[in-house]
Amino acid sequence: MDKMRRETWWQRHRPTTRRLVQVYSALLYNAHLKGFVTGEIYRGPAKALCVPGLNCYSCPGAVAACPLGALQNALASTGHRAGWYVLGILLLCGVMLGRTVCSWLCPLGWLQELLHKLPTPKLRKSAVTRALTWLKYIVLAVFVIALPLWYGLAQDMPLPAFCKYICPAGTLEGAMGLLPTHRDFFGMLGVLFTQKYVIMLVVGLACVFCYRSFCRFLCPLGAIYGLFNRFSVVGVRVDPNRCSQCGACVRHCEMDIRSVGDRECIHCGKCMAHCSQGAISLQAGKLTLMAPELPGKETAPEAHRKQKALGRALWGAALAVLCFALLWFNVLDPASAKETEPRWESDAPVGWEVGQQLEDFTADCLDSSVFHLAEHRGEVVFINLWATWCTPCVHELPFFDVLAREKADAAVLAIHSALVTDDPAAYLADKGYTIPFATDTEDERLFRLVNGSATLPQTIVLNRSGEVVYNQVGSVTIEALEALYDTAAAEP
């Protein structure tokens, strides 16, 4: 009797194949598990690749890039290079999988479904929710395409607007994932983080009452994949010869579909259980991946054994890949080994000349954060001395911002002269720069530390050990900054 009860409980609670694939994808995307302990973001060669689903690049566990963030950066760099790689990845995933990615391969989709399981009253789909599904296309057009393109072409500055202003996955996986191991970050949190944190909470709360709220109404990646739904290779298909047009599939679907396989369908396959005619199946081209058992039709014992054997073989191979990924990204990968190296040290004398170690300092930035030089050992540091009234200074500021975005291990600080004729904060308010800005003290302490000149602009570059490799007055170009970065990064 006890055995029967245990079997009944297991039959009721065992995870479905789709749920197992969701968990597997989340683990594979975030195989750098030690990052959650050390607080270090993986920066190895795999980060040049994109995963199919939404997964923040800055998550300490992430081993690859998010396709949505990569797309925004590619669009922002349109004036310099074409983002064919990112577009190719999105086209490939769209043509092959469509919104199957949303249902089976997206960690954020899995999290939304878990939140929806909380026992509360649920909001049913209606004409209002169907109308709201178009909102994600507006988000796609404005925050993923228009703003990055405009800032890239008009301002020559990359701005991943969706990631910066909206993405709840970035807030949860990136910011919240790093804060427990970087308590000093709490003092750097500003209005932007507060806004994104509120968005994350609102989206999470909405998912409790409304099935996959973010996926249905806001996710621009789902909007892109939805465009491929009708002709994607993998997807839920309806056999017209069996379909009785009863509409049970649409009525029981929690997404805002009008027909199986349309732009809102995520190909989860739940509708198969509600089709009395057995007309719905999950297919990859002509290959049937999942189909209901038809009444009166039983699978031959030999065929059933072959199916089970094939399933075990596929899961065994998948688990082997996952085990190797966990071993590689946490132990074997040379990039992973570098993360455990101690902070770079220098025996050079303190000073501002090339070859000397720049004296440690702390600067209060205009965004209320604090820049502490010692915390950036192991990174290439750029210090830019500038002023609002200096035309060459203003012209080269975007170059430093581009550099900071493109080089994950580069830290940039722009220091305004103590001679303030304009309000630097007001001047920078609508520029969209992400690098920290500080204003020198009245006694010009910061300028004196780097031997700052009355002639501006001036650029100081430090290698990973905090030693000066460049300290000169004069304008720089983005090419010059990249060359200086390469020189400083190669310094022992």
92 and 189 housed in the same domain: yes
Domain count, the chain: 2
In a domain, 133, yes or no: yes
| Domain span at 412 | 362-490
329 and 396 housed in the same domain: no
175 and 38 housed in the same domain: yes
pLDDT in tens, 152-185: 787 766 678 898 899 999 899 988 887 787 665 6
CA–CA gap between residue 31 and residue 327 (Å, rounded): 9
Distant-in-sequence, close-in-space partners of 103: CB < 8 Å, separation ≥ 6: 18, 109, 266, 267, 268
178 and 327 housed in the same domain: yes
pLDDT in tens, 197-239: 999 999 999 999 999 999 999 999 999 999 999 999 999 999 9
378 and 284 housed in the same domain: no
CA–CA gap between residue 162 and residue 170 (Å, rounded): 10
In a domain, 142, yes or no: yes
In a domain, 380, yes or no: yes
In a domain, 309, yes or no: no
CA–CA gap between residue 269 and residue 213 (Å, rounded): 19
CATH number, domain with residue 474: 3.40.30.10
135 and 174 housed in the same domain: yes
CA–CA gap between residue 413 and residue 446 (Å, rounded): 11
> Three-state SS for 99?
coil
In a domain, 123, yes or no: yes
Query: What is the full per-residue pLDDT of the chain (492 aa) written as tens digits?
Result: 455 555 566 666 788 999 999 999 999 999 999 988 888 888 788 888 999 999 998 899 999 999 998 898 888 777 666 678 888 999 999 999 999 999 999 999 999 999 999 999 999 999 999 999 999 999 999 999 999 888 878 776 667 889 889 999 989 998 888 778 766 566 556 787 889 999 999 999 999 999 999 999 999 999 999 999 999 999 999 999 999 999 999 999 999 999 999 999 999 999 999 998 999 999 999 898 888 876 555 555 776 687 788 888 999 999 999 999 999 999 888 766 655 555 567 788 999 999 999 999 999 999 888 999 988 988 999 999 999 989 899 999 999 999 998 888 899 999 999 887 778 888 898 888 989 999 998 888 999 999 998 889 999 999 999 999 999 999 999 989 998 998 898 865
Domain end residue (candidates: 307, 341, 375): 341
pTM attached to this predicted model: 0.70
What separation in angstroms does the CA of 16 have from each of 13, 71, 101, 322?
Answer: 9, 32, 16, 19
Cβ-in-10-Å burial (0-12, 13-18, 19+) of 244 comes to: exposed
